[in-house]
Amino acid sequence: MHLSIIIPSYNEEKRLGASLERIRSFLASKDYEREVVVVNDGSRDRTSEVARAETEAFRAAGVELRVVENPGNRGKGYSVRNGIFQARGHIALFTDADLSAPIEEADKLIRPIETDDYDVVFASRALSDSVIPVRQSVFRETAGRTFNVLMRGIVGLPYKDTQCGFKAFRRDRALPVFERQRIDGFGFDAEVLFVARKLGLRLLELPVVWSHVEGSKVGMLSDSTRMFTDLVQIRWNQVRGRYS
């Protein structure tokens, strides 16, 4: 299996069908073995049913589609880790269910891993060459910049944007990273990149096309507070040797 695309999904019945159709069209033209893994994070709607309804269409396109069920609502970080463990591809890429970064941008992330130049390639909305046709609200953009400043100060990562939900990994080298992951919520992105860098993996931040899509699952007050405490937790885990 060359490529696994992982989609962490929580209450995504309204958006998932169209996103899967677009992913299927993208993958249909590829000549390597590929799969899609939808991780249902304890959704209270028909997310699983919508995903499973696409199984035959994917099979007809030569792509395997699997649905993995979390044991309840555990968080995006848990969903991505579960998807990585369940995936079989040499390269594992996770994308948000709303495809705010178009799936057609995936080739940018996959190629540097295929050529064995990098082990982790992740999309960024903050680089000068990034293209943002539909921007977030000023409040959300300000919160994102504030988080990045805090992340640099507390965790020490040198990147412009750790939180974009579009990242690719050489799976065999990334498994030790996810085995050490402790954070199950939205702060997991920074932790995964921190641990990957600590373990000596080669990381690349790339500009992409990205558009804001209404219906974000990130709560500006509750989740922003939790993400700040996650940064402190990353530093504490490092001090305690939990990433060794």
Residue 217: the pLDDT is 63
Q: What residues contact 177, with CB distance under 8 A and at least 6 apart?
A: 169, 192, 195, 196, 199, 201
Residue 142: the pLDDT is 83
Beta bridge partners of 150: none
- 188: in domain: yes
- 145: in domain: yes
- 216: in domain: yes
DSSP string, 51-65: HHTTHHHHHHTT-EE
Q: What is the CATH number of the domain that holds 189?
A: 3.90.550.10
- 244: in domain: no
8 Å CB contact between 185 and 109: no
Higher pLDDT, 204 or 226: 204
> Model-level pTM?
0.93
Residue 89: the pLDDT is 97
- Assess whether pLDDT exceeds 60 at residue 220: no
Residue 181: the pLDDT is 97
Residue 226: the pLDDT is 85
Residue range(s) defining the domain that contains residue 97: 3-239
- 91: in domain: yes
Residue 216: the pLDDT is 63
Residue 196: the pLDDT is 97
Domain count along the chain: 1
Q: What does residue 51 show for φ and ψ, rounded to 5 degrees? A: -65, -45
Helix (H) or strand (E) run with residue 153 in it: helix 138-154
- 157: in domain: yes
Residues found in the chain: 244
Residue 148: the pLDDT is 86
pLDDT in tens, 153-178: 999 999 999 999 999 999 999 999 99
Residue 22: the pLDDT is 96
Residue with tokens 């709560």: 219
- Assess whether pLDDT exceeds 80 at residue 215: no
